[in-house]
Amino acid sequence: MSEPNSHNSSAARLIITLSSDSSLYYAVLAVLVVTYSLIRTLSIAFKPGLSSIPGPVFAKFSSLYRPWKLANGDAPQFYRELHRRYGKIVRTGPKTVDISDPSAVATIYGINTKFLKSAFYDTFSPFYQETVMPSMFSIRDPAQHRALRRPVAQKFSMSSIRAMEPFADECTDIFLDSMRKMEGQVVDLGDWLQWYAFDVIGAITFQRRFGFMEKQEDVPTVHKWLMGNKWVAKLLAAQPFVKIPDPLRTIVKYTQECMDEYDSRPALEHSDRPDFLAWLRGEAAKGKPMSERDLVNHLSNNLLAGSDTTGISLRAIVYFLVKNPRAYKKLQAEVDAANRTGKLSHYVSYAECLELPYPQAVMKEAMRCHPGVSYPLERIVPDTGVKLCGVQLEGGTIVSVNAAVIHHDKSIFGEDAALFRPERWTESDEERVKFMDRHLMTFGYGSRTCIGKNISIMEMGKLIPQLVRDFDIEWASERPEWRVKTFWFAKQYGLICRLRSRKEKK
């Protein structure tokens, strides 16, 4: 009995010593915390399955590896280089894996997949009345996503979108008139295409343009990862030294103002409006009410998701055409031929654009070469685990495919996958085109494909033929290339061009 008593007394003396000496207590506590963290880090780093996956050494031990490497805004090149160096499956964090394998795309993102979005997407949820409001894009639960999507899916169909074409036509008029006034001048066409996209989505959603093209002003932005955080947003808003705009809160506030203005007017003024707000209010009048929160959610999400991606894609189309004169002339010749035979209206309709094979191929190829979102689309491996690229991954592992990487896969798009070549879509056989289509991730994939895809395609399909029909566009920058910074969106800068009017339009 003496031995246990000896242990007990030793433990008691240790507790008394620690309680009487606070500095020693905190020192021991710190050692225990560090030891626990080290053991946990090492156990994850060398976990069976994950430990066999190649990748940078630092990535095994810390989730800070990716933010550190991505801080310069060069995500596409970073991930392509990782896969060139390590292969189809690369470990990019303690429990994070990036994949570039055609066979894995449907498994991870397919219609009936059990792979849910990771917590990363929470950073894109705005706040409404001081609570987080997950959008159709950021919401992670599939059942909640379906419930949010179901009431508005009809309005995003292509038949509904075609009824909204006049909104795009109004913006096209302003855009083309502005280009005529600046004919021969050096123009940052990238800014104008962004303004166009914003004004179109504003008109489609609220029958109200933002007026960016008339004012020739850009949109003030702060990175969503910062302003999407409630406490960071509050802290920045409270500090008295400089006024910092919060785009998420600003868009939600703007949405509420548009709704209040709509409700303040007589119902007869809204009877023929085809915009989203009028449609949703009309559905409520027919006995299909929607909560005020969901109304704000859908309408603000239109603005948040429907402007940047379209602006990026429009810039990509123009850039690759200007940088590839042969493709530019071929597209322009097809547009001119259709125009001379009366197949194009004054405002090119979306239906007419679909009958122009080469412009359609150019659009698709530009978005393949420069997807608007060039970050990995993170998903969580379900509890049952999965085998990808020959490696068994347990539930909870974060896996992802980056469109900027898979779109350069030679086994899918050919040996010249890194090049802009629209002919790959017009000259390949039907099965090859279908195979390439199945691996395009420009608008996401599967059930989480961007619901606003049709709006974006409609805008591009109408504007590009009209732009090349009316103008010759040439590169006018002192730099040989544009600049791209990727922080989720692959935002381009320096699309400096000069436009000259053409006679062919007549």
What tens digit of pLDDT does each residue of 191-237 get?
Answer: 999 999 999 999 999 988 888 888 876 654 433 433 344 444 444 44
Higher pLDDT, 18 or 186: 186
The Cα–Cα gap between 162 and 352 comes to 12
Is 50 exceeded by the pLDDT of residue 324?
Answer: yes
Question: Which pLDDT score, from 0 to 100, does residue 236 have?
Answer: 43
pLDDT of residue 232: 45
Task: Name the least confident of 17-21, 69-73, 128-132.
Answer: 17-21
In the chain, the percentage of residues whose pLDDT exceeds 90 is 62
Instruction: Look at 345 and 283; give whichever has higher pLDDT.
Output: 345
Per-residue pLDDT at 101 exceeds 90: yes
Q: How confident is the model at residue 6 (pLDDT cuts 50, 70, 90)?
A: low
- Asked if pLDDT for residue 157 goes beyond 90, the answer is no
pLDDT tier, 130 (very low <50, low <70, confident <90, very high otherwise): confident
341-374 pLDDT, tens digit each = 999 999 999 999 999 999 999 999 999 999 999 9
pLDDT in tens, 426-447: 999 999 999 999 999 999 999 8
pLDDT, residue 40, reads: 59
pLDDT of amino acid 237: 45
Burial of 57 (0-12, 13-18, 19+ CB in 10 A): exposed
Predicted local distance difference test score (pLDDT) of residue 229: 44
Q: Of 247, 252, 250, 246, whose CA–CA distance to 295 is shortest?
A: 252
Residue 23 and residue 10: Cα distance in Å, rounded?
20
pLDDT digit string (tens) for 388-407? 999 999 999 999 999 999 99
Please report which helix (H) or strand (E) contains residue 491, including its range.
strand 489-493
- Rounded to two decimals, the pTM is 0.86
Q: What is the average pLDDT value for the chain, to the nearest integer?
A: 86
pLDDT bin (cut points 50, 70, 90) of residue 240 is very low
Q: Which of 168, 195, 192 is nearest to 181 (CA)?
A: 192
- Helices 292-305 and 247-263 sit at what angle, rounded to 10 degrees? 120
Whether the per-residue pLDDT at 241 is higher than 50: the answer is no
Average pLDDT over residues 272-293: 85
In the predicted structure, residue 70 carries a pLDDT above the cut 80:
yes
Compute the distance between CA of residue 160 and CA of residue 31 in angstroms, rounded to an integer.
63
Checking if the pLDDT of 383 tops 90, the result is yes
Task: Tally the C-alpha atoms within 13 A of residue 219's C-alpha that lie toward its C-beta.
Answer: 27
Whether the pLDDT of residue 414 is over 50: the answer is: yes
Q: What pLDDT score does 286 carry?
A: 84
